[in-house]
Amino acid sequence: MRKIDRKRLLREMVFFRRFEDRSFEAYMERKVGGFLHLYSGQEAVATGVLEMVQADRGVGFDYAITGYRDHIHAIKAGAPAREVMAELYGKETGSSRGRGGSMHIFDPSVRFMGGYALVGQPFPLAAGLALACKHQKEGRIAVCFLGDGANNQGTFHETMNMASLWKLPVLFVCENNCYAIGTVIQRSTAVIDQYKRLEAYNIPASQHPGQDIEVVMEAAQSAIAHVRSGAGPYFLEFLTYRYRGHSMSDAGAYRSKEEVAEWMQRDPIQILAKRLIEAGELTEEEFKAMEQAVQSEIDNDIIQFAEESPEPKVADLAKYVLEDNPDPRWIGPLQGQGG
């Protein structure tokens, strides 16, 4: 496994936080339509897990799929940040040609097989991707990110049963942020510790803190090795927290200020930044410069690209819908070139 550059990981998380901040601002400016679900506070999970997935095989080798809080998973999986932001803006240059919006980021060129609006929808799709990986015998795995609220869906239980029975090479990553929209987990779920539910399906599982990226990576490395070995699926549960509401319409009134403040003390960006500063690998000035450089990149490149990109043409409304008229960017990946 290649050596991990911790300063690069810190910059990535800073970039992801600012990307979501600017998405929020663009929505408030009415430049982003539809729904918007932000990932602020949970950056260590997607960044850490996908970093380890990519560590020995590179970007775009394995499959990744998730729900509707999908911007950061897509970018870390290899989707261009410009195209993700353009998709939020509904522009023709977006990752789904402006036709999907925030909840439907999709880029098969890097095997990011989508964000999905329906709760629990990614589970059976992840199993299908893993089954394909098993038949192709090229060493690929599927990584499925899920929220604790989705685990009460029937698709969760059906998928876990089949994944275990067929020993599918799939890694399930539960981002337990304590709430299913506005319902705290204690009011909706009989088994609070999600990893314990997998005992019923004979799937090995473990629970870990999700705010420290190095803890995330250590847990992910072991789980990925298990899945790649052909031993079947693995279920990782990370305890994390979203700093913003469930969506833009959620004021978060169901959470106490004390609870939010407590979790803010466990900000994944600050945890890693402090560790690097104390280790002498980073100075306070360098960290501030990093934040400023990221803000400049997003404002002067990512946002500018989205704002200057063309709107989809009304005459092209039905394009890229049916199999006989695919998006030319996807023809190679969808026909299975290189798997």
Hey, what domains does the chain have and what are their CATH numbers? Answer: 6-311 (3.40.50.970)
CA 117 to chain centre: 13
With beta carbons less than 8 A apart as the criterion, state whether 213 and 207 touch: no
The DSSP letter of residue 107 is B
Total-model pTM: 0.92
Mean pLDDT of the chain: 92
The reported pLDDT for the residue numbered 339 is: 46
Q: Is the pLDDT of residue 10 over 60?
A: yes
CA distances, 112 to each of 51, 63, 73 (Å): 14, 6, 8
Please report the pLDDT score of residue 324 as a whole number: 65
Residues 49 and 143: beta-carbon distance below 8 Å:
yes
% the chain with pLDDT above 90: 73
Mean pLDDT of 84-110: 93
Rounded mean pLDDT, 144-167: 94
When mean pLDDT is compared across 36-50, 83-97, 266-280, 322-336, the lowest value belongs to: 322-336
Residue 252 pLDDT > 50: yes
Instruction: Give me the pLDDT at residue 336, please.
Output: 52
| Residue/partner pairs of 285-293 with CB below 8 Å, 24 or more apart | 287/10, 290/10, 290/11, 290/14, 291/14, 291/18
Q: 326 — alpha (psi -120 to 50), left (phi > 0) or beta?
A: beta
For residue 331, the model assigns a pLDDT of 59
